[in-house]
């Protein structure tokens, strides 16, 4: 940058920089309030379903019952993934990371939607519906493929939450787990301009299609500082292994300046409201499975991090033990995040298309100038 822009030095990581206007979701980091299209996350977690929340995020209002029924049918009619994509996935190395598989398979869905590059509201919404229906099928199928099991076909009489658990396990979850999983999907659906959502807005801002924009979002979500944190929380708990070892383990980790996964947040300076729900579910699942250790360990880490660093758990902290106790493999935690966050990504992409401006910021140039070029032979 040479002239006309302010120094970015004070905004490392663009903290506090407002980079878009959006009506989709808002995070009040000081008070720990999250809203989707005006509705408090606590009300949605208490009363809503994931499908209703998707409708809300895309349309800016809650659906009437006939609208919700039609919306559910549309999504369920798109659970099935093209057979070619499944065939391709069967060729992947069995040890491929599920997020890499998800990114690659979702990207390939573009080939099977001839209108997938169109950015008008009608076609982009159709692509969003297809993607929202298909992403869970891919994530669940990969777990079966890599374990040498037959893929379970989606059941379009089931909700997104129940269908995912059904395709993963080959049997339906009980109503309690279906409900908890559904609320988990609600809690992860949108979070304003987080890294992956910002990515989808940058990509869709070039008028690239829905599939490419979502693929980029998956790539961003995979990082351990973003969606990848939930898997790492569980790895940490397993690494510590014993509640009695927490205090010394944490002291050592902090001494070594390790980041404690699932703790801290770029925006929240108080309790993340999503963690309030997930703490409750982690405890509930522990009681249900007769395995309180993971909840108790998490609680102790939370307490110590609060005392020592004044920090709070984020969405990933208690979701880790909740999913673990549901028997979900560790490396599927982040794909599940994507199964939910696709609703926010696609909502933001639709919003970006509706009022598009190419996103093209400036960099503060800190390199050299006016160097004299030395021919290769003389260096």
Q: Which residues bind ligand COA (CB under 6 A)?
A: 13, 225, 229, 259-266, 309, 314-316
Which of 118/266 has CB closer to ligand COA?
Answer: 266
Which residue number places its CB atom closest to ligand COA? 264
Assess whether 226 carries a catalytic annotation. Answer: yes
Taking the complex as a whole, the smallest distance from the CB of residue 12 to ligand COA amounts, in Å, to 8
Nearer to ligand COA (CB atom), residue 61 or residue 259: 259
Contacts of 114 (CB under 8 A, 6+ apart): none
Q: How far apart (Å, rounded) are the C-alpha atoms in residues 276 and 278?
A: 6
Exactly one of 110, 182, 190, 226 is catalytic; name it. 226
Which is catalytic among the residues 113, 265, 272, 348? 265
Taking the complex as a whole, the smallest distance from the CB of residue 194 to ligand COA amounts, in Å, to 8
CB half-sphere exposure, 163, CA atoms < 13 A: 26
Which of 349, 40, 38, 358 is closest to 197 using CA atoms? 349
Nearest to 122 by CA among 51, 83, 74: 74
Q: For ligand COA, give the closer residue by CB, 45 or 315.
A: 315
Find where tokens 């999913």 sit.
323
**Minimum CB distance to ligand COA, residue 260 (Å):** 4
The rounded distance, in Å, linking the Cα atoms of 124 and 117 is: 8
For residue 87 the two structure tokens come to 């065939």
Containing 41, the helix (H) or strand (E) segment is helix 41-47
d(CA 102, CA 89): 10
Distance, in Å, from the CA atom of 182 to the CA atom of 160, rounded to the nearest integer, reads: 8
42 included as an active-site residue: no
CB of 283 to ligand COA, least distance (A): 20
The catalytically annotated residue of 316, 331, 348, 370 is: 316
Cβ proximity to ligand COA, 261 vs 338, nearer residue: 261
Supply the minimum distance, in Å, between the C-beta of residue 247 and ligand COA.
15
In terms of CB distance, is 51 or 302 closer to ligand COA? 302
Catalytic site residues? 226, 265, 316
């Amino acid at each position: 940058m040479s002239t006309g822009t302010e120094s970015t030095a004070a905004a490392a990581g663009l903290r506090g920089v407002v980079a878009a206007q959006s009506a989709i979701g808002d995070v009040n980091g000081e008070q720990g309030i999250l809203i989707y299209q005006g509705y408090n996350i606590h009300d949605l977690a208490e009363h809503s379903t994931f499908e209703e929340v998707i409708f809300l995020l895309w349309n800016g209002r809650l659906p009437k019952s006939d609208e919700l029924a039609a919306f559910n049918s549309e999504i369920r009619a798109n659970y099935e993934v093209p057979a070619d994509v499944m065939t391709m996935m069967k060729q992947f190395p069995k040890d491929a990371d599920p997020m890499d598989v998800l990114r690659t398979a979702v990207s390939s869905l573009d080939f099977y939607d001839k209108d997938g590059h169109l950015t008008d509201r009608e076609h982009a919404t159709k692509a969003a519906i297809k993607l929202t229906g298909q992403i869970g099928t891919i994530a669940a199928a990969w777990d079966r493929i890599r374990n040498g099991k037959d893929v379970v076909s989606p059941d379009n009489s089931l909700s997104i939450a129940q269908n995912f658990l059904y395709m993963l396990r080959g049997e339906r979850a009980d109503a309690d787990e279906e409900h908890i999983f559904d609320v988990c999907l609600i809690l992860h659906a949108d979070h304003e301009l987080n890294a992956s959502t910002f990515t989808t807005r940058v990509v869709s801002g070039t008028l690239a299609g829905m599939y490419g924009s979502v693929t980029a979002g998956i790539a961003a979500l995979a990082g351990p500082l973003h969606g990848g944190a939930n898997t790492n929380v569980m790895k940490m708990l397993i690494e510590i292994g014993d509640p009695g070892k927490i205090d010394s383990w944490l002291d050592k980790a902090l001494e070594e300046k390790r980041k404690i996964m699932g703790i801290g947040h770029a925006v929240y300076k108080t309790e993340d409201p999503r963690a309030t729900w997930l703490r409750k579910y982690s405890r509930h699942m522990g009681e249900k499975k007769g395995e309180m250790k993971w909840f108790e360990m998490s609680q102790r880490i939370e307490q110590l991090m609060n005392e020592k660093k004044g920090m709070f758990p984020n969405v990933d902290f208690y979701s880790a033990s909740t999913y673990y106790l549901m028997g979900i493999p560790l490396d599927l935690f982040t794909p599940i995040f994507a199964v939910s966050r696709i609703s926010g990504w696609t909502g933001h992409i639709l919003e970006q298309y509706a009022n598009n401006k190419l996103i093209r910021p400036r960099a503060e140039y800190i390199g050299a100038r006016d160097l004299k070029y030395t021919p290769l032979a003389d260096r």
